[in-house]
Amino acid sequence: MNSNVFIGDTEFFPGIGKVQFEGPESDNPLAFKAYDRNRVVSGKSMDEHLRFAVCYWHSFCASGGDPFGPGTRQYKWADRPDLESRARARLDAAFEFFSKLGVPYWCFHDFDMAWEGVGVADSEKNLQTMVELAKERQAETGTHLLWGTANLFSHPRYMNGAATNPDFAILTRAAAQVKAAIDATVELGGHNYVFWGGREGYACLQNTDTKRELEHLAMFLAKARDYGRSIGFDGTFLIEPKPMEPMYHQYDFDAQTVIGFLREHGLAGDFKLNIEANHATLAGHTFAHDLRMAADAGMLGSIDANRGNPQNGWDTDQFPTDLYDAVHAMLVVLEAGGVAPGGLNFDAKVRRESTDPEDLFLAHIGGMDTFARGLVIAERVLADPRMQELRFGRYSSYDSGNGKRFENGELSLADLRDIAATNGEPRQVSARQELVENIINDHIATGT
Ligand code: XLS
Ligand code: NI
Ligand code: NI
C-alpha cells in the first residue's frame, strides 16, 4: 500500500485524500458517515458483508454522453493523444480513485480497460498489456478484482447478438473475446466472471429462431465454463439478468427465468446470478424480489447496486441512495448468509450534470453509506422476534400433523379433499402487512 497520494506519474484527483470514516455527526461530504469497515454487524465486519466494488466503465470510461448530446465531463485521463496512453492513464486514475476511496474491489469489461485492436490477436495483445499494468496496480494498492467480463454488445458486429447471433462467424468472435476475458480475469485473481446478455435477445420474434438461439447460448456458456475450469478458474460464473434494453426482449429476463434456464441446461452447479437493482425494476419487480428469488434457489452470486427512476422506468443506473430499498436488499443478503465470493458492485454512473471529479467520490460515498446503513438496520429487523413470527409463524400449520405430512409428500389429492371435507371453513388469518411495514419503519427511524 504506497498510495495515500497517487499512482503512476500524475495525480488525477488532487486535493482529495483518503476518505475516512468520521461518523454520523460529521458534515464533511468527503467522509463516510456510516461505512465503518471494521464495525462488526451480525458476527462479521462491514467489509466482509458488503464487499464493495467500483465499476470501471461508468466511472472511468463514460463522460456523460446520452442519445441527445455528447459527454459533459473532461477528465484528465481522457486527454491523452493515443489509445494506449489514454488506457494507461485511465487505469492509473482508476487505481488512485480505488485507493483514495478505500474500496476493496473493482470490476471491468475487456474493452473498457483495453482498446479493441484490428483482429483477434491484436485485441488479445492489447488486453494483455493492460492486464500486466493492472496486476501491478492491484499489488500496489491492495485492490482486488471482484469480476471481469467481455463487452459483447457495443461493437456493431454484435448488433444481432453474440452467443445468440444467427451468424456462426459472429459467435466465434464472441468466443474469442470471452476466452481472453476469462484469461485476464484469472490472471488478475478475479473471484467471479460475469455474462450480461446485452444483445442476447431479439427485436423481432418473427425473424428469430428463439429455440436455436437459446440452445446456442447454453452451449456457449458450457464451453466458457469448461475453458475457465481447464485453466484453473475456481470462482463463480455469473449471469446478470435484464429483461430489455438494448433489445426489445432479452433472454435473461429476470432471476426466475435465468434460474430455469441454468437448471434446464445443467449449468446450475457453476453459475449463479448477479442481480442488478435497476434490471429487476425494469422487469417489473423490486430489487429485493429478484434477490430473494436468487437466494431461495441458492444462486445469489453477486449484486450490481444502483437504482432506477420510478417515473421513467429505463436503466438510469443512478447511485443507490434509497435507504428503504437498501434495507430490503440487505434483509435478503443477510438472511442468505452474504454474497461472497460475490460483492456489491456500483454499476452506477454520476449524472450528466455532475461534472466535477469530486462528484465520483461523493456518489460512491453515498452508495457505500446507504448500504452500510441498510446492513445495520436489516440486522435489527431480522433480530426482531415479531418479524420472525409475522413471516414464518404464518406457516405453522405445516409444522406438524397433516400439514407436515403434506410437505413430506404423504398425502394424495384425495386425502387433501377428505381433510377439507372434515374441517369445514378455515378461519380467517390476517397477513398484517401494515404491522410488518410499520416495524421496518420503526427500525429505520431508530437510526444506525
Ligand atoms: C448493463 C449492465 C452491464 C453489466 C456488465 O445494463 O448492467 O453494465 O453489468 O456488462
Ligand atoms: Ni445495468
Ligand atoms: Ni450491471
Q: How far is the CA of 146 from the centre of ligand 3 (A)?
A: 13
Is residue 27 packed enough to be buried (19+ CB in 10 Å), middle (13-18) or exposed (0-12)? exposed
What was the pLDDT predicted at 2? Answer: 41
Residue 59 pLDDT greater than 90, yes or no? yes
Label residue 36 by pLDDT band (50, 70, 90): very high
Cα–Cα distance, 371 to 330 (Å, whole number) = 8
- Give per-residue pLDDT as tens, 107-126: 999 999 999 999 999 999 99
- Give per-residue pLDDT as tens, 140-183: 999 999 999 999 999 999 999 999 999 999 999 999 999 999 99
User: Nearest ligand, CA of residue 198?
Assistant: 1
Residue 21 pLDDT greater than 60, yes or no? yes
Label the pairing between strands 249-250 and 201-202: antiparallel
26-35, 308-317, 361-370, 425-434: the lowest-pLDDT one: 308-317
Please give the model's pTM, rounded to 2 decimal places.
Answer: 0.97
Is residue 285 a contact partner of residue 251, using CB atoms and an 8 Å limit?
no
Question: Ligand 1 within 6 A of 200 CB?
Answer: no
Residues in CB range of 260: below 8 A, 6 or more apart:
none
Label the pairing between strands 44-45 and 40-41: antiparallel
Residues in CB range of 236: below 8 A, 6 or more apart:
191, 192, 193, 270, 271, 272, 301, 302, 341, 342
Residues in the chain: 448
Residues in CB range of 434: below 8 A, 6 or more apart:
none
**What are the residues whose beta carbon lies below 5 Å from ligand 3 (ion)?**
276, 304, 347
Residue 3 pLDDT greater than 70, yes or no? no
Label the pairing between strands 105-109 and 52-55: parallel
Amino acid at 430: S
Q: Closest ligand 1 atom to the C-alpha of 242?
A: 6
What was the pLDDT predicted at 365? Answer: 98
Residues in CB range of 114: below 8 A, 6 or more apart:
87, 123, 126, 127, 129, 130
Residue 256 pLDDT greater than 50, yes or no? yes
What was the pLDDT predicted at 5? Answer: 56
Residue 63 pLDDT greater than 80, yes or no? yes
Mutate which of 252, 347, 349 to test ligand 1's pocket (most atoms within 8 Å of Cβ)?
A: 347
Residues classed as catalytic: 109, 112
Q: How far is the CA of 208 from the centre of ligand 3 (A)?
A: 26
Label residue 187 by pLDDT band (50, 70, 90): very high
Q: How far is the CA of 152 from the centre of ligand 3 (A)?
A: 13
What SS3 class is residue 254? coil
Residue 4 pLDDT greater than 70, yes or no? no
- Give per-residue pLDDT as tens, 259-314: 999 999 999 999 999 999 999 999 999 999 999 999 999 999 999 999 999 898 88
Question: Ligand 1 within 6 A of 250 CB?
Answer: no
Q: What is the mean pLDDT of the chain?
A: 96
Residue in this structure with the C-alpha cell 484469472, named with its chain if needed: 186
Identify which of 388, 385, 394, 404 has the alpha carbon closest to the alpha carbon of residue 428. Answer: 394
Nearest-CA residue for ligand 1 atom 7 is 347
Query: All 3 cell numbers of residue 425?
Result: 371453513
Nearest-CA residue for ligand 1 atom 8 is 347
Query: All 3 cell numbers of residue 217?
Result: 447460448
Q: How far is the CA of 45 from the centre of ligand 1 (A)?
A: 28
Is residue 97 a contact partner of residue 90, using CB atoms and an 8 Å limit?
no
What SS3 class is residue 37? coil
Question: Ligand 1 within 6 A of 242 CB?
Answer: yes
